[in-house]
Amino acid sequence: MSKGRITIQDIANRAEVSKSTVSRVLNSPLIVQADKRERVMATMAELGYEPNQVARSLAGGRSMTIGIVTQNIGTPFYDSVVQGVMQGLNGTGFSPIVGDAMLKQNLFLDAARTLMGRNVDGLILIAGDIPSEKIEELGEQKPTLVVAREMPDWNGVNIATNNFQIGANATQTLIDHGHREIVHISGPADHIDAIGRLAGFQHAMQQAGIEVTNDHIIHGDFHAESAADAIETLVQRGVPYTAIFAANDLMAFGARLALHRRQASVPDQVSLIGVDDQPESEWMIPPLTTIRQPGKEMGQAAATAIIAMINGGQPDLPTLGGDVVLRESVQQRTAT
């Protein structure tokens, strides 16, 4: 069978699926059952079929589209980065095509490859946890950059804040307000953002001469429910604390609710700080002290950078900080 004459029907016959299934794998792979999707993808690789071969042959022109893969649609911070990309593309002639990984590594890579098959001119990866070598492979096909994720083992274009510094700044804010009994509700133990923020927490505590044990660290999953569970774990452990550093605002919201249900007053009894500065943070009761992550600015910078890369230029990457936004959830601790 000649590669140049391979059809969708050929793939369907070889993979023992319907022609419509092959079409869905090519156009909307995330809605196809995993086993069928993998079978079709394997068959295409076996036959040497390239879904975008026709598009690539059409005049060699640009599609004027930018692929965006986000770690999770519905997570406020990642959504703000997507919004920033869209704002940055506005008026440039480039249109965004967005894929959602739904917090799953295999879907993240699938979505990226699907967008490549759509012949996008460049690819923006928002966070995610796919290995750097896979990102390198994508970058060999089209200009690719990573935003909102630190990539110390990758030499490509990377726009992110320093999570170690974020963790240190959040913890130091509590220390500066007189707190020494501080617990940290971290993100997943294998998530690079969570690892950096935890290291920053430990460093700030060590610099202040405050001992940190495993009882002072509880791993959540960046969602509110996990932080509410963490409060119950702290109660069970009998750990004394006057302040909580939650690794993101969503977990700070969950911790605040759990404290309320236990009739623990914020900030009179427990001070609380988060990370991200989500729009809802200033409307929490009390308004949440947090470390601002400039999501929209990251997205806008990513849009500018990817266009520069497409045009063969070197992107001018900004330095993005994580400023403390001091509100009413952190209170000065009086010496007893």
Q: Per residue in 69-96, pLDDT tens?
A: 998 898 888 999 999 999 999 988 899 9
Report the topology of domain 163-292: Rossmann fold (3.40.50)
pLDDT at residue 2 above 70?
no
Q: Per residue in 36-73, pLDDT tens?
A: 888 998 998 888 886 654 444 344 468 889 999 998 89
The bridge status of strand 289-292 relative to strand 324-325 is antiparallel
245 membership: H or E segment, kind and range: strand 243-246
Predicted local distance difference test score (pLDDT) of residue 114: 94
- Packed helices 163-176 and 192-207: angle between N→C axes, nearest 10 degrees: 40
CATH superfamily of 8-60: lambda repressor-like DNA-binding domains (1.10.260.40)
Please state, in angstroms and as integers, the Cα–Cα distance from residue 259 to each residue in 231, 256, 266, 284, following that order: 7, 5, 8, 13
Among 80, 68, 167, 152, which residue's Cα sits nearest to residue 118? Answer: 68
Report the topology of domain 65-161+295-320: Rossmann fold (3.40.50)
Structural domain spans, the chain: 8-60, 65-161+295-320, 163-292
Do 21 and 36 meet the contact criterion of CB atoms below 8 Å apart? yes
Give me the mean pLDDT over the 145-162 stretch: 91
- Which SS3 state, helix, strand or coil, does residue 99 take? strand
The radius of gyration of the chain's CA atoms, rounded to the nearest angstrom, is 23
Same fold, 8-60 and 163-292: no
Predicted local distance difference test score (pLDDT) of residue 194: 94
Beta bridge partners of 103: none
- Packed helices 105-117 and 19-27: angle between N→C axes, nearest 10 degrees: 100
Q: Per residue in 257-283, pLDDT tens?
A: 999 999 999 999 999 999 999 989 999
Q: Per residue in 195-249, pLDDT tens?
A: 999 999 999 999 999 999 999 999 999 999 999 999 999 999 999 999 999 999 9
Tell me how far apart the alpha carbons of residues 333 and 336 are, in angstroms, rounded to a whole number.
9
Predicted local distance difference test score (pLDDT) of residue 22: 87
Task: Give the up-direction half-sphere exposure of residue 247: CA atoms within 13 A in the CB hemisphere.
Answer: 30
Using the 8-state DSSP alphabet, how is residue 147 labeled?
E
Tell me the residue type at 211: E
Answer with the residue of higher pLDDT: 240 or 318.
240
